[in-house]
Amino acid sequence: MKNCPFKLEKGMANRIDPSIEFSKEACAMLVKVPRVFLKIVLN
């Protein structure tokens, strides 16, 4: 997680499916999503 400056987004994404590792680019796309909708977007 130290390579991704988007710790909140990466942490939430990894909790959905721990077998999938999200990249920095994927985290960057999630930053624009409001926090209240992040879980919905990830599902």
List the domain range (segments joined by +) for residue 34.
7-42
**Residue 5's pLDDT band (boundaries 50, 70, 90)?**
low
Q: In whole numbers, what is the pLDDT of the chain averaged over residues?
A: 77
- For residue 3, pLDDT over 60 is answered with no
Q: How many domains does the chain have?
A: 1
Cβ neighbours of residue 12 under 8 Å, at least 6 residues apart? 38, 39, 42
Which value, in Å, is the radius of gyration of the alpha carbons in the chain? 9
Provide the whole-model pTM: 0.56
Q: Is residue 2 part of a domain?
A: no
Our measurement of the distance from residue 2's CA atom to the centroid of its chain's CA atoms, rounded to an integer in Å, reads 13
Q: Collapsing DSSP states into helix, strand and coil, what is residue 43? A: coil
Give the per-residue pLDDT at 20.
Answer: 81
